[in-house]
Amino acid sequence: MEYYGKKPNYNMAHRIMFGMAEFYGGGAFVIINTFFTVFLIKALGMPAALAGTIPLVGKIWDAITDPMMGNITDRTVSKFGAKRFYIFVGGIASSVTFLLLWLTIPSRSIWAMYFFYLIMFCLFSTGFTILMVPYNGLLPDMIDDYTMRSKFSTVRMVWSTLGSMVCGLVPSFIIKDNTKPAQYMTCAVLFSILFFITTTVTFIGTWEKKKEPVKTTLRESFPQSISVLKSRSFKLFLGIYLFGQCGMDFVSGMAVYYIDDVLNGYSNGYFIYLMATILVSQLVGMVFWGPIMSKTSKRTTILIGAPTRLIGTLGLLAFSYEGASIVPVLVLTAFIGFGNAATLTSIFAIMADMAEVDELITSIRRPGIVSGMATFARKISSGLSAAGIGFLLAAVGFDENIANAGQRQALSTQKGIAMIYIIVPAILITLLFITAVVFPLTGREFDIIQKEIARRKGEDTSSTTEKEKRICEKVTGFSYDNLWKAENAKKLVKDA
């Protein structure tokens, strides 16, 4: 097998270099989910319901760019490797566009601000797409082994958590007054530089299999992407991804409001304590859950981690009022972070395996298309969370003028914010657990999928047993006889 970039090396140094781009993937959205709507509402005075629609409209734009980027990646030929090439280009684009999000315009017109930041958010989403779609599709083209992929994914999630920690805590020290726009820009400059450095290291420290590009046109990007949804495993994976990530998006997106308007502890440093607790517990959880996932399955850690998150989340109901002790809040938050580590570790490890399931169905290896749909799902979860937070805040009577003046919200609004912070994530965690229960792919099934692909390529001469046929059908959602047919791939695209 020939490779672009470095020669394959599975030691810890190369796992670290592979994972560093996730500092941006995990960190950028922490800053955006935690501070972007706060920046718009409290620093600029934009109505909450209006501010919340900006990330959601940005995700509609992603519905165009993500499938196209997945197709472009699979079609590209580069001496660096297609995915590594776009990781380098995307590292530059994502750093610049992140900075643009926090510019302040001279106009105080609500609609002028709205359209300006909407355009900036769409540019940021495009930069994120250029980087993260090929990055999410890189691991299947680096490593074939199920367990080794888990080890690389675990290190990637450690970087995600480090990114979340740094991006969750450092801005709190810089943005001491959340009504001052200049403090947000200072933060943006710092993190734009860090994001560029970490993504460049991933480009330098990775490799990629040499393979023939997929011969599709840009016009086929959308039906190609939608056809991925024909896979039963991928649909369930999207449920795991959306419910798991969207639940944490609500936690990070509502944290400032929860601390400031419910506990009245922002000026006392409670927000820093809460973010430090959730992120440190998540980092500890990564170290704890990684070996468990390698020895059991990527599904098992979700089935343990989701209930842990749920216990911590529902426990907050007893302590969500002004004057409550911060200690039990932090203890329960540690449960949330520790349980979320299990979810995160599993999600990105599972994502790498979806390319093989798709290949068994279509006979075409297209990790770019698969990762494009996964990246789109991640952005949808973030956009829906931001829009949901904006609408729910408006529904419970949040007054942006009171917020901009640094005053307290009404008592009924405070109680409403507490319910948003607790009940919505609890519902999503429950759905996450249910989806994980029925998810059909573990290490045993993955080995059978790989073996079946090798048989159909003529690389394995053994016969398929009836049990293996049933497993292939369960994982893919297709009858065994309809797998790996060229006409099947064309039909999927046509039907989509």
DSSP 483-496: SS-HHHHHHHHHH-
Residue 90 has pLDDT above 60, yes or no: yes
| Length reported for the chain | 496
pLDDT of residue 11: 92
pLDDT tens-digit profile of 331-361?
999 999 999 999 888 888 898 899 899 999 8
CA atoms in the 13 A half-sphere facing the CB of 6: 16
Q: Which SS3 state, helix, strand or coil, does residue 209 take? A: strand
Quote the CA–CA distance of 87 and 81 in Å, as a whole number: 10
Residue 197 has pLDDT above 60, yes or no: yes
Quote the CA–CA distance of 230 and 250 in Å, as a whole number: 29
Give 207's strand partners: 5
Residue 90 or 369, more confident: 90
Q: Pick from 193, 234, 213, 423: which is nearest to 317 by CA?
A: 423
pLDDT of residue 26: 81
Burial class of residue 64 in the structure, from the number of CB atoms within 10 Å of its CB (0-12 exposed, 13-18 middle, 19+ buried) = middle
Token pair 């059991």 in the structure block, residue: 296
pLDDT band for position 216 (50/70/90)? low
Residue 114 has pLDDT above 70, yes or no: yes
pLDDT of residue 45: 87
Is there a contact between 317 and 282 (Cβ–Cβ < 8 Å)? no
Is there a contact between 254 and 419 (Cβ–Cβ < 8 Å)? no
The CB density around residue 29, as the number of other CB atoms within 10 Å, is 28
Token pair 């499938």 in the structure block, residue: 67
pLDDT band for position 485 (50/70/90)? low
Angle formed at CA 48 by CA 42 and CA 54, multiple of 5 degrees: 105
CA atoms in the 13 A half-sphere facing the CB of 2: 6
Q: Pick from 364, 397, 372: which is nearest to 485 by CA?
A: 364
Residue 221 has pLDDT above 70, yes or no: no
Give 18's strand partners: none
**Mean pLDDT, the chain, whole residue set:** 88
The tokens describing 103, both together, are 């510019």
